[in-house]
A and B are shown apart, each in its own frame.
Chain A
Amino acid sequence: MYGLIWKDIINLKRYIKIFAVFFLVYGFMAFAQKDISFITGIFTLMFAILTMSTYSYDEMSQWDVYALTMPITRKDIVRGKYMLMLLLVLFGSIFSAVFAILINAVIGSENIFAGIGASFIGAAVVILFYSILLPFITKLGIEKARIILFVVCMVPFVIVIFIKKAVNTGVVRVPDQMLQFCETAHQYQYLLMLVVLVVCLSISYFISLQIYHKKEF
């Protein structure tokens, strides 16, 4: 399975130059504006998007059919993609955090760690997002799953906007118990986030495995 992850990483090496350019451009902008807020989490996202590129490469070359003739199981292929996704998100968050600290130090920000929390929350959102998306990619292939990607991105926004509007205009009254629950949840937000992530990832992985086992090549 590690061979599969290496295969993806080697395929992504062409992005190094593009990333270096981004790094310089964003670094310069943050330095010029003495503000890092707009770059927080940007690298987490950029690294995370690479997961989808590896699916594209595999599909273009019809790699999976070849890989399955090697000492690689269907489970290895699914697990390899989930591990790669987590690795990229983790790497992206660390990169984002280090970048934020560096820029904070250079621009002489009061709080050198400003923006780090946001980059890790960004990582959690990305993992949640992939938990929904990966079973669709496994089932439909990356091209068709792009439509799902759009839906997955849009639906939460639409729902939040709708609820916000409903609450503000007084059409819906939020029950007190729910407000209390939200406050309690807020206290334990990091723990809660971790539990939600683990549960969603596990369910997603299990579904993807089932889908991949039934696939024909």
Chain B
Amino acid sequence: MAEVFSGKDAIVVQDLTKRYDNFTLNKISFHVPMGTIMGFVGENGAGKTTTIKAILGLIHTDGGKISVLGSDSRDVPKEKKAWIGVVLDGSNLHENLNLRDINFIMKRIYPSWEEATFFAYVKKFNLPDNKNIKEFSRGMKMKLSIAIALSHGAKLLILDEATSGLDPMVRDEILDIFLEFIQDEEHTILLSSHIISDIEKIADYVTFIHKGSIVFSENKDDLIYQHGVIHCRKEEARQIDPSYIVGIRENSYGAEVLIQNKDAFQRRYRQYQIERTSIEEIMLFVSRGKERM
């Protein structure tokens, strides 16, 4: 897939390679345009967290380049790091601290810490201010991390599975907060998740990683528009030009075929009715299709 890098990208990942004994991140490239939400999807162990760690400079890479807010990810100056709000998979805060302690510490770490904003989120998320973090539920810890990420004037949010562990009501509320955040055209979000419905709801772009390689990194609406599903008999499926086929799912009644270049396909094969598809369906067809190859 051709990557178009522009100066208006908040994150550019180019040919990133990282080798472990049992896993390799294989020359992956994608970019996150400023002012957008990039959904970063893939199954557990596909390489999402490794990629995010590389973007954050937490691991050393074996090849490639990453630029974050215009700086090399290995050497992002402190003033730019202060513009990045991060929510990791775990809580990473000391269990015996309370919210006032955290406010006190963050005030001394972030030059632009917004105490009023922090406590406004604490109130909004119903976080108990008289308890230590060890008494917080997983959802509460996640909400606290999100509150911290949103309370220091961040321009870029990097969220690793930030909505997992939250009940649907709260998740919806947090997705709305992310949409509000993105109203500023200088703000950007990279959101990794295995909850595809969240990505479908808010992302502008979707990057799909599968077994350490990028399968696609595209505009979400284009993806949905260019793909479609047709139902036909098994033998009919075999007669379709393979260049249109992304994946085939066969059952006793016939076959479901995910096709790409929907318009061109429709012009050539007028007999089929093309059904609208979803990101989740595309991912499933692509990953299963790949496994078959």
Please list the residues of chain A having a beta carbon within 8 angstroms of any beta carbon in chain B: 2-4, 6-7, 10-11, 14, 57-58, 60-63, 65-66, 68-73, 214, 216-217
Q: Are B97 and A11 in contact (CB under 8 A)?
A: yes
Q: Are B88 and A69 in contact (CB under 8 A)?
A: yes
A61 to B95, CA, bound (A): 7
Q: Are B92 and A63 in contact (CB under 8 A)?
A: yes
Residues of A within 8 A of B101 (CB): 10
Q: Which residue of B lies closest to A11 (CB)?
A: B94
Q: Are A63 and B93 in contact (CB under 8 A)?
A: yes
Q: What are 11 A-B pairs with beta-carbon distances under 8 A?
A: A3-B109, A11-B96, A57-B94, A61-B95, A63-B92, A66-B88, A68-B58, A69-B84, A71-B79, A71-B81, A72-B109
Q: B211 contacts the other chain (Cβ, under 8 Å)?
A: no
Binary A-proximity of B159-198 (CB < 8 A = 1, otherwise 0)? 0000000000000000000000000000000000000000
A217 to B18, CA, bound (A): 13
Residues of A within 8 A of B60 (CB): 214, 216
A157 to B90, CA, bound (A): 43
In this complex, how many residues of chain B approach chain A with their Cβ under 8 Å: the count is 31
Q: In the assembled complex, how far is the CB of residue B19 from the closest CB belonging to chain A, in whole angstroms? A: 12
Q: B232 contacts the other chain (Cβ, under 8 Å)?
A: no
12 additional contacts (CB under 8 A) given A63-B92, A63-B93, A65-B88:
A3-B108, A4-B109, A57-B96, A61-B92, A62-B90, A68-B56, A69-B81, A69-B84, A70-B109, A71-B82, A71-B111, A72-B78
Q: Are B58 and A7 in contact (CB under 8 A)?
A: no
Q: B106 contacts the other chain (Cβ, under 8 Å)?
A: yes
Residues of B within 8 A of A6 (CB): 104-105, 108
Residues of A within 8 A of B82 (CB): 70-71
- Tally A-B pairs: CB < 8 A: 75
Given contacts A70-B109, A71-B81, contact A217 B92 (CB under 8 A): no
Q: Are A70 and B81 in contact (CB under 8 A)?
A: yes
Q: Are A14 and B96 in contact (CB under 8 A)?
A: yes
Q: Which residue of B lies closest to A66 (CB)?
A: B92
Q: Which residue of B lies closest to A63 (CB)?
A: B92
Q: In the assembled complex, how far is the CB of residue A13 from the closest CB belonging to chain B, in whole angstroms? A: 9
A191 to B104, CA, bound (A): 40
Q: Which residue of A lies closest to B86 (CB)?
A: A69
Q: Are A3 and B105 in contact (CB under 8 A)?
A: yes
Binary A-proximity of B262-286 (CB < 8 A = 1, otherwise 0)? 0000000000000000000000000
- Which 3 A/B pairs are nearest by Cβ-Cβ distance? A66-B92, A3-B108, A3-B109
A73 to B97, CA, bound (A): 23
A69 to B90, CA, bound (A): 14
